[in-house]
Structure 1
Amino acid sequence: MKHFARMATAVAAFSVAVAAIAETYPSRPITIVVPFAAGSATDALTRVIGKRLSERLNQPIVVENRAGANAQVGAQYVAQAKPDGYTLLMATNTSHAANSSLYAKLRYDPVNDFSPIARVAQCPFALAVNLDVPAKTVKEFIEYAKANPGRLSYATPNSTSQVASETFRTMANLNITGIPYKSSPQAMIDLMRGDVQMYIADVSSGMSMFKAGKVRVLGMTTSEAFAQLPGVPPISETLPGFNLTSWHGLLGPAKLPADVVRKLSAEVSSVLAEAEVQTAIAQINYKPWPTQSPEEFGNFIREQIVYWNGLVKRANIKPEGEQ
């Protein structure tokens, strides 16, 4: 009986401590880790959300870029952080869906090592080519690539670009070579210089170059056209069934106190509902895509792992590190 009494006392004390944490949270700056380089689409989105979230929580929010290993570096860092709500991750379909199939041994468990908080937004990708490539349409690019087998290359700075490019290559039956990059900005620079001829880029980081005519945009990865790029058709008009988009959401380490998760989720939802934030997100070529609850976001992540696994298999991509 004394043993059970001690256990009951410990549980009660823990509950009081958790409640106290939630009541005073946050009491110091919060860090949101971006698993990609500064200047990337994820970085831009995080800074928009972080600015308003900071104002609502009355605490500074620091955006910390920890790029590397296709988002594994940043994700692993947060997975190993103290679950107190002061170290969060702006996750994407790269870190929490595609990587599960792209790596034989992932540095973290995308489900069990994290506490889902809220999905935030989605961002389409666009197929762009160097201006020296004569193709003006997706169909013409496919024909050009087939006429020059083994002579063209494409940039892949993240898993969305990699899976989209490999899916495109497989569906079109092309002999083109993927070149891995550490960041989206560098991939775009090399596309403009002609070091690579094709790059399926996120429209957020690539839009300025698209509109300036530094590269030529041929098609969208989504099944629908994108308002900010009028006249650019979906790739699916040439390759039926082609459909990929990128999503972003906020996570914390596993075992984050439930009250802290609820508070952050509610605040993110409120931020995304603000007209000014929606305008700011649209200006970086994102679309708000909130979830109703942390549980819904968690279910979404599990569904996306299955979905991207199918994409990776259909693209015949061999997991890195597989024997």
Structure 2
Amino acid sequence: MKIIAVLFAVLAAAGVAHAQQWPAKPVRIILSNGSGSLPDVLMRMVAERLGNSLGQSFLIVNRTGGNAIVGAEAAAKAAPDGYTYYVSSPETHAMNVFQFKSLPYDPDRDFTAVANIGSAPFVVAVHPDVPAKTYPEFIAYAKKTGRASMGVGVGMSDVLAQWMNVVTGTHVLPVRYKSAPLAGQDAAGGQVTAAIVSLGSIAPLVKAGKLRIIAVTSSNRFPPLPDMPRLADAYPDLIMEGWIFLVAPTGTPPSIVQRMNSEINTALTEPKMVERMMSGYGFSTREVMTPEVLQERIKEMRVTWQKIAHDIKMEAQ
């Protein structure tokens, strides 16, 4: 028994030493979103802050394509040494599970939860000429004209647009774009009737009067738009927020996972960081989580997405 106790003590000491020496070289944070996207901009803020506090470079690596599969696969196959992380989302950890018959990664087997980053709701924005100031008015307009269209980005906003059609019993044609800013630009130009995107991706167009926001998809009032109606005010089921969180390849030393979690939580609760993310991009970092709590939240999110997949009759490809 003494030998076993000594062995555990040695292993524990080794783990602490490993965490203290980390990071001894640049750290990669893989992102499935492109350069200039909201997650990219936000994670570059976080990476800069981590670099300053830990004295090492934290590099954002954009691996786009394939419904986030390219980036997720690259991260899943990386060495679990504490030097590679992945910025995940409901798309990677839930939506893809129901959308594809097979994946080159398993979100449960291949990743371990590290830290919550935060979330931002989507907003529904229309061209100024559209005679609707609320989402119910937009639905009435869509049913009356029979030709309303909704610009959406890749992934969650596309699914959300389909879900909105199911819940409201109407058909607003989803028009798919490679990025949210492109969807917003075409809505401002009148090529599509509306767009469902993040506030950060269309803020300049809204400020210029080229788009008008009529609803947000948040569960609570949205601080940057405190008087804006929520979709859930009229349709209680319609709550969806863009959520990002950090994971690492399974097998990453727990001591390093805990260190990374602590550093990120500290960074995201600093008043300047909180204000910068919320006022500039409508992104909330209010939910600080341990890796264990984050893991449970991911499981709960999977259940929600299973219902959405069922409601929109999503067929695995």
- Asked if TM exceeds 0.5, the reply is yes
Amino acid across the alignment from 2:205:
M
Aligned residues between the structures: 313
CA deviations over 1:35-57 (Å, ceiling 9, x no partner): 11122221121112111111111
Aligned CA-pair RMSD: 2.5
Output the CA distance in 2 between the equivalents of 1:317 and 1:133.
30
Deviation at 1:279, TM superposition (A): 1.6
Output the CA distance in 2 between the equivalents of 1:99 and 1:291.
25
CA deviations over 1:126-182 (Å, ceiling 9, x no partner): 111233433222122111111232x33223323321232112111111122223322
**Matches of residues 232-251 of structure 1 in structure 2 within 5 Å?**
232-251=228-247
Deviation at 1:235, TM superposition (A): 1.3
- Pick aligned residue for 1:281 from 277, 291, 294: 277
Structure 1 SS opposite 2:101: coil
The structure-2 alpha-carbon separation of the partners of 1:136 and 1:313, relative to structure 1 and needing over 3 Å to count, comes to same
- Pick aligned residue for 1:88 from 85, 95, 99: 85
Output the CA distance in 1 between the equivalents of 2:94 and 2:175.
21
The structure-2 alpha-carbon separation of the partners of 1:107 and 1:217, relative to structure 1 and needing over 3 Å to count, comes to farther
8 Å CA contact 1:102, 1:317 repeated in 2: no
- Runs of 4+ in structure 1 deviating by more than 3 angstroms, as ranges, are 10-21, 289-292
Output the CA distance in 2 between the equivalents of 1:64 and 1:75.
12
The structure-2 alpha-carbon separation of the partners of 1:227 and 1:293, relative to structure 1 and needing over 3 Å to count, comes to closer
Larger mean CA deviation between 276-285 and 10-19 belongs to: 10-19
Partner in structure 1 of residue 3 of structure 2: none
The reply to whether residue 97 of structure 1 matches residue 90 of structure 2 is no
Amino acid across the alignment from 2:105:
Y
- Pick aligned residue for 1:292 from 277, 289, 293: 289
Output the CA distance in 2 between the equivalents of 1:65 and 1:76.
13
Structure 2 SS opposite 1:219: strand
CA deviations over 1:7-55 (Å, ceiling 9, x no partner): xxx9999888755543311011112112111222211211121111111
**Matches of residues 1-323 of structure 1 in structure 2 within 5 Å?**
20-149=17-146, 151-282=147-278, 283-314=280-311, 316-321=312-317
CA deviations over 1:82-117 (Å, ceiling 9, x no partner): 111222111122222322223332332122111210
Output the CA distance in 1 between the equivalents of 2:185 and 2:8.
56
The structure-2 alpha-carbon separation of the partners of 1:13 and 1:190, relative to structure 1 and needing over 3 Å to count, comes to farther
Output the CA distance in 1 between the equivalents of 2:293 and 2:214.
35
Output the CA distance in 2 between the equivalents of 1:194 and 1:73.
33
Output the CA distance in 1 between the equivalents of 2:94 and 2:187.
27
CA deviations over 1:262-315 (Å, ceiling 9, x no partner): 11011111112211211222122111134431111111111111111112222x
Partner in structure 1 of residue 4 of structure 2: none
Amino acid across the alignment from 2:201:
S
Output the CA distance in 2 between the equivalents of 1:75 and 1:54.
23
Output the CA distance in 2 between the equivalents of 1:199 and 1:66.
25
Q: Percent identity?
A: 31
Amino acid across the alignment from 1:181:
Y
The structure-2 alpha-carbon separation of the partners of 1:15 and 1:66, relative to structure 1 and needing over 3 Å to count, comes to same
TM-score by length of 1: 0.88
Output the CA distance in 1 between the equivalents of 2:11 and 2:268.
33
For structure 1, which runs of at least 5 residues remain unmatched after alignment? 1-9
Output the CA distance in 2 between the equivalents of 1:228 and 1:209.
16
Structure 1 SS opposite 2:94: helix
Larger mean CA deviation between 213-222 and 102-111 belongs to: 102-111
Partner in structure 2 of residue 4 of structure 1: none
Output the CA distance in 2 between the equivalents of 1:193 and 1:50.
35
For structure 2, which runs of at least 5 residues remain unmatched after alignment? 1-6
TM-score by length of 2: 0.90
Output the CA distance in 2 between the equivalents of 1:111 and 1:204.
31
8 Å CA contact 2:217, 2:231 repeated in 1: yes
Amino acid across the alignment from 1:22:
A
Output the CA distance in 2 between the equivalents of 1:106 and 1:194.
38
8 Å CA contact 2:134, 2:229 repeated in 1: no
